Amino acid sequence: MLPNVIDTSRFIWLVSIVYLILSTLVLGTVGIANGMKTANAFFHGACIFMAAFDTAGFAPQSQNILYYHSLLFEIITIVIMLLGAMNFNLHYQLWTGNRREIWKNIETRMLCITIVVIFLITLIGLNQVGSYPRALIMFRKGFYQVISAHTTTGYMTIYARQFINDWGDLALAGLICAMAFGGGTCSTAGGIKMLRLGIIVKALQQDLKRIILPERAVVEQKLHHLKELFLEDKQVRAALLITVAYLALYGIGALVGMLYGYSFLDSLFESTSAAANVGLSCGITTPGMPTGLKLTYIVQMWVGRLEFMSVFTLIGFFVAAIKGR
């Protein structure tokens, strides 16, 4: 973002602290309006902001965001979760006045498109089972969970078992896709990331053009990520490699869950949540869950957070050390 690491770190600290102060004040004020004691309200506001902006999902109460029973509280946390899922380079562009970058950038465009598509899928699924007949309830229960899943935050306005009892297979599948895709690169979000998804879509467009146009035609594909870039094969390979690795990790975790007797969709939901570092649960993750499943999710959280390349490097180091002996 800036000429050196020190200035970049200072900017990230500045952004985080300013958002912390503003969000704590706003959330604390909402808490006071809802009847909480002043000190408690601002403490909750600070905790909720930090876990929303860090897309971590922890909350002071076991009921999570459902505890507050406040539409305004939910809207504010949606905004904070989206800010946390944004690339810090985009925050820099926004703070320096280059607001056009937000609309031109491939990551924000992909995020908007996937949120709309996934929410439509979720909406159809929820309408099929008739869980939330009113629009406001659909927003607070359906849309909120989609944003929480897509930003890989893990905040919930429903109980874990309601995903199985009230949502139905199609809505649950939509939420799994949201968790799998994740947020922006260089953000606090996990998952495959919007930049990789955008690169794969652009590569598909390029291949379709090559098929349609004459053989002699030179097909060049551009994408905008902070600046205009030409799509290169090495970018596509890297994006596909990590995407396939994530899909494999989601699948392996689901198979382990099925070996312990859980259904495929429930196992895939929990596996994707762990590997994408989301934190949503359909009720499988409990203190009394099998030890093998706990170990599986621990490994998934670790590998998913490091995004594979560090893990591949570490494995290569140990293999080289063993061969060297």
Q: pTM for the full model?
A: 0.92
Residue 320 pLDDT more than 90?
Answer: no
Q: Domain for residue 303, yes or no?
A: no
Per-residue pLDDT of 122-168, as tens digits, reads 999 999 998 898 999 999 999 999 999 999 999 999 999 999 989 99
Output the pLDDT for position 163: 93
Please count the other Cβ atoms lying within 10 Å of the Cβ belonging to residue 106.
Answer: 20
Q: Which domain holds residue 5?
A: 1-84
Residue 301 pLDDT more than 70?
Answer: yes
Output the pLDDT for position 221: 87
Q: Domain for residue 287, yes or no?
A: no
Mean pLDDT over 241-245 rounds to 94
Mean pLDDT over 242-254 rounds to 96
Output the pLDDT for position 58: 92
Q: Domain for residue 72, yes or no?
A: yes
Output the pLDDT for position 325: 62
Q: What is the mean pLDDT of the chain?
A: 92
Q: Domain for residue 15, yes or no?
A: yes
Q: Domain for residue 145, yes or no?
A: no
Q: Domain for residue 164, yes or no?
A: no
User: How many structural domains is the chain composed of?
Assistant: 1
Mean pLDDT over 108-116 rounds to 95
Q: Domain for residue 198, yes or no?
A: no
More confident position, 5 or 269: 269
Residue 312 pLDDT more than 90?
Answer: no
3-class secondary structure, 54: coil
Q: Domain for residue 317, yes or no?
A: no
Rounded CA-CA distance 90/86 in Å is 7
DSSP string for 151-204: TT----SS-TTHHHHTSHHHHHHHHHHHHHH---TTSS--SS-HHHHHHHHHHH
